[in-house]
Amino acid sequence: MSVYILCLILFCIGLYCVLRKRNIIKIIIGLGIIEYAINLFFVLVGYRTHGRAPILAKDQVISNMVDPIPQALVLTSIVIGLAVTALLVAIAIRIYEKYGTFDITKIRRLRG
Amino acid sequence: MKILPFFVIIPLSAAFLISLLGKKIKNFGDIIANLGTLSLLILSLNSVQLANAHKILVYKMGNWVPPIGICMVLDGLTSFMLVTVNLVSFLVAIYSISYMERYTDKYRFYTLFMLLLAGMNGIIVTGDLFNLFVFLEIASIASYALVAFGTEAEELEASFKYAVMGSVASSFILLAIALLYSYTSTLNMADISLVLSQKGRGMLINLVAILFLAGFGLKAALVPFHAWLPDAHPSAPAPISAMLSGVFIKVLGVYALCRVFFNILGVSSAISFALIILSIISMVVGAFLAIAQQDIKRMFAYSSISQIGYIIFAFGIGSPLAILGGLFHLFNHAVFKSLLFLNSGAIEYSTGTRDLKKLGGLNSQLPVTGYTGLLGSMSISGIPPFGGFWSKLIIIIAAIQAGYFLSAGVAILVSIVTLAYYLKFQSHTFFGKLNETRLKVKEVPLAMSLSMIILAIICVIAGFLLIPIFRPFLQNAVNVLLLGKGYKDAVFGAIR
């Protein structure tokens, strides 16, 4: 149970980082933390203590195995996260070229 | 049922080909994008007939039987959404031929455009929850890049804001999927519904429902989650604003929300109450913020928030008549909001500004834009013979029938406010005195005016969708949502 709570704490750290930090690079890092927290949670959902990979072979009895589907899904999710992070960093670099700052409170040319 | 995978294959392969050859061959992007969207439109019209004849069709990917493999489902709602999306995207692709000449790297635009379309079509046809998430991310990433397409300071800022909020929303959706998987051990939508009905709804399902509501609500720009939309939609190039406001928020927000709540989790009274409250706030806030705007596209963006409120309100009521009205309003809004955004693009193309204070009297110089804009404005503000009037009327009648008198009154008042700000738009741009520096302003090229004229004609005749001959198009979609949790039996019935 404690691992799930740790996941939740990691998620909350990421959310805090996105909501409260003023530097846009730190916001991007916060998004990464959120994503890792969810990926970790997803893998833990399929984890079994002392489980092993569910590969079927002759003269082997598998009594306790890890659920492979969350692992496959998390791989996909990591790739998606990579794409989003790369795009965000690219945008952040262009923002720095235009505004000369990473401070989110000074990047305010759009009005409410 | 063999046509289903093509809704994803065609745009994906078009995006691939355009990015590969677009730089070398002149006009390659224009041709492939238009051919691709035209074939998608024809396929989607064909899918309406199929859905009408067979009720439900299931395509098994790689011949794996669904609870194990991924499936694609074609039913009334799917075909309805496919027609809406592909109709708008075809006309937007025609419009982009001339409009996108202002930008460099036109082929990159088409690549992202086709990826956006692949993501949206994928969300609509898929019958697997994680697959839905993947397509949702494809569409979202393409839209973040498209909002920043002009790479000016404001566009980058809007795109960053949108991307951060969109990523947080996607995280919520992924977390909800993870929790749902831990409870049901399956990802197939019909199978999740089956397991939930056998196992009973635990407390966990309420948490999942809230996470889905927050995630899809942010994608649909319901009011507490709307802050990105008025920045992101005006910053994108006009064809993309039309796509984003016209169909994107409906597919990623409204369609996904309906599919998850009506067909998988089931609508509890708490959820429908939450939907009604959020939608009423969206309607009012969107409309009142729209009046104050001086930028045309920003006004339209706030108007989208307000109109999405109407659609969600109808689904919150949940009676058969209300769902009919909601879906009909979704179709109408897709048509007239994309028309209005294309109009704003045409105004910017000809005059170089979209500030209401600097425009005026353009009707003499831009007759096609002026009259199509007038038709679009009349339709969205609910003037009688147009489609927008009928859909709003149905929603309000349904609200009164269901006993939501106060909400119905608010909906009528918001409709009047809508009329007010569209009158402001008309009087400040097309009527009044022409600025003398604009005497040389010419009408936009043929491709742009053609797509605006077709959209305006659809606006006028959209009311005919309610007459008995065309009624199955809407009614089949309504039936799918009314079926509720019977969706699983329909899907499993079609597999066997």
- Given a cut of 50, the residues of chain B with pLDDT beneath it are none
- Give the pLDDT mean for A70-85: 94
B194 touches B184 (CB < 8 A): no
The shortest C-alpha distance from B30 to chain A (Å) reads 25
Residue B179 CB contacts under 8 Å (≥ 6 apart), including other chains: B204, B207, B208, B211
The shortest C-alpha distance from A64 to chain B (Å) reads 16
User: Per the structure block, which two tokens stand in for B70?
Assistant: 């991924």
Task: Report pLDDT for A111.
Answer: 61
DSSP state of B71: E
Q: Answer whether B137 sits within 8 Å of A84, measured CB to CB.
A: yes
Among A40-54, A79-93, B17-31, B181-195, the range scoring the smallest mean pLDDT is: A40-54
Task: Report pLDDT for B224.
Answer: 87
Sign of the CA dihedral with B146 first, then B152, B155, and B159 last: positive
The string of DSSP letters for B31-42 reads HHHHHHHHHHHH
Helix A24-45 and helix A68-99, axial crossing angle in degrees, nearest 10:
180
- Cα B137 to Cα B143: distance, rounded to the nearest angstrom: 10
Consecutive H or E run containing B94: helix B76-99
Residue B331 CB contacts under 8 Å (≥ 6 apart), including other chains: B80, B84, B387, B391, B462, B465, B474
**Which residues in chain A are closer than 8 Å to B187, comparing Cβ atoms?**
69, 73
Q: Which residue has the tokens 């990917």?
A: B61
Consecutive H or E run containing B60: strand B57-60
Residues 184-203 in B contacting A (C-alpha not used; CB under 8 Å): 187
The shortest C-alpha distance from A51 to chain B (Å) reads 17
Q: Answer whether A95 sits within 8 Å of B175, measured CB to CB.
A: no
The shortest C-alpha distance from B484 to chain A (Å) reads 28
Q: Which residue has the tokens 């009164």?
A: B400
The answer as to whether B1 is a domain residue is no
User: Per the structure block, which two tokens stand in for A16?
Assistant: 């805090």
DSSP state of B26: T
3-state secondary structure of A66: coil
Residues 83-102 in A contacting B (C-alpha not used; CB under 8 Å): 83-84, 87-88, 91-92, 94-95, 98-99
How many Å from the N-terminal Cα to the C-terminal Cα in chain B? 14
Q: Answer whether A107 sits within 8 Å of B152, measured CB to CB.
A: no
Q: Answer whether B158 sits within 8 Å of A95, measured CB to CB.
A: no
Task: Report pLDDT for B325.
Answer: 94
Mutation choice for A interface testing from B157, B162, B184, B305 by most A CBs within 10 A: B157
Task: Report pLDDT for B282.
Answer: 93
- Tell me whether strands B71-74 and B57-60 are parallel, antiparallel or unpaired: antiparallel
Task: Report pLDDT for B284.
Answer: 94
Q: Answer whether B130 sits within 8 Å of A38, measured CB to CB.
A: no
Q: Domain residue spans in chain A?
A: 2-48+67-99
Residue A10 CB contacts under 8 Å (≥ 6 apart), including other chains: A33, A36, A37, A40
B200 touches B225 (CB < 8 A): no
Task: Report pLDDT for B19.
Answer: 93
CA dihedral B251, B255, B257, B263 (to 10 degrees): -150
Domain A2-48+67-99 matching CATH 1.10.287.3510: the answer reads: yes
Is A41's Cβ below 8 Å from some Cβ in B? Answer: yes
Residue B27 CB contacts under 8 Å (≥ 6 apart), including other chains: none
Selecting from A42, A70, A94 the residue whose C-beta is nearest the C-beta of B156 gives: A94
Task: Report pLDDT for A53.
Answer: 80
Is B65's Cβ below 8 Å from some Cβ in A? Answer: no
Instruction: Of B475, B94, B118, B486, give the one whose Cα is nearest residue B320.
Output: B475
**Which residues in chain B are closer than 8 Å to A27, comparing Cβ atoms?**
164
Is A12's Cβ below 8 Å from some Cβ in B? Answer: no
Domain span at B411: 6-495
Task: Report pLDDT for A26.
Answer: 95
Q: Answer whether A92 sits within 8 Å of B157, measured CB to CB.
A: no
How many CB atoms are located within 10 Å of the residue B85 CB?
Answer: 28
- Cα A20 to Cα B282: distance, rounded to the nearest angstrom: 26
Q: Give Cα B275 to chain centroid, integer Å.
A: 18
Residue of chain B with shortest Cα separation from A38: B175
**Which residues in chain A are closer than 8 Å to B108, comparing Cβ atoms?**
none
Residue B378 CB contacts under 8 Å (≥ 6 apart), including other chains: B386, B388, B422
Is A3's Cβ below 8 Å from some Cβ in B? Answer: no
The shortest C-alpha distance from B153 to chain A (Å) reads 6
Is B134's Cβ below 8 Å from some Cβ in A? Answer: yes
How many CB atoms are located within 10 Å of the residue A22 CB?
Answer: 12
Question: How many domains are contained in chain B?
Answer: 1
Cα angle, residue B454 at apex, residues B444 and B335 outer, rounded to 5°: 105
- Split at pLDDT 50, 70, 90, the class of A72 is very high
The shortest C-alpha distance from B393 to chain A (Å) reads 32
The string of DSSP letters for B265-331 reads I---HHHHHHHHHHHHHHHHHHHHHHHT--BHHHHHHHHHHHHHHHHHHHHHH--HHHHHHHHHHHH
Selecting from A38, A70, A98 the residue whose C-beta is nearest the C-beta of B153 gives: A98
Selecting from A11, A80, A87 the residue whose C-beta is nearest the C-beta of B144 gives: A87
The shortest C-alpha distance from A50 to chain B (Å) reads 19
**Which residues in chain A are closer than 8 Å to B218, comparing Cβ atoms?**
none
Cα B200 to Cα A83, B4, B210, B215, B484: the distances in Å are: 38, 33, 18, 24, 16
Task: Report pLDDT for B1.
Answer: 56
Task: Report pLDDT for B431.
Answer: 86
Confidence check: pLDDT of A112 > 80: no
Q: Which residue has the tokens 């993870």?
A: B178
Cα angle, residue A86 at apex, residues A80 and A91 outer, rounded to 5°: 130
Residue of chain B with shortest Cα separation from A27: B164
Cα B403 to Cα B280, B319, B408: the distances in Å are: 15, 11, 9
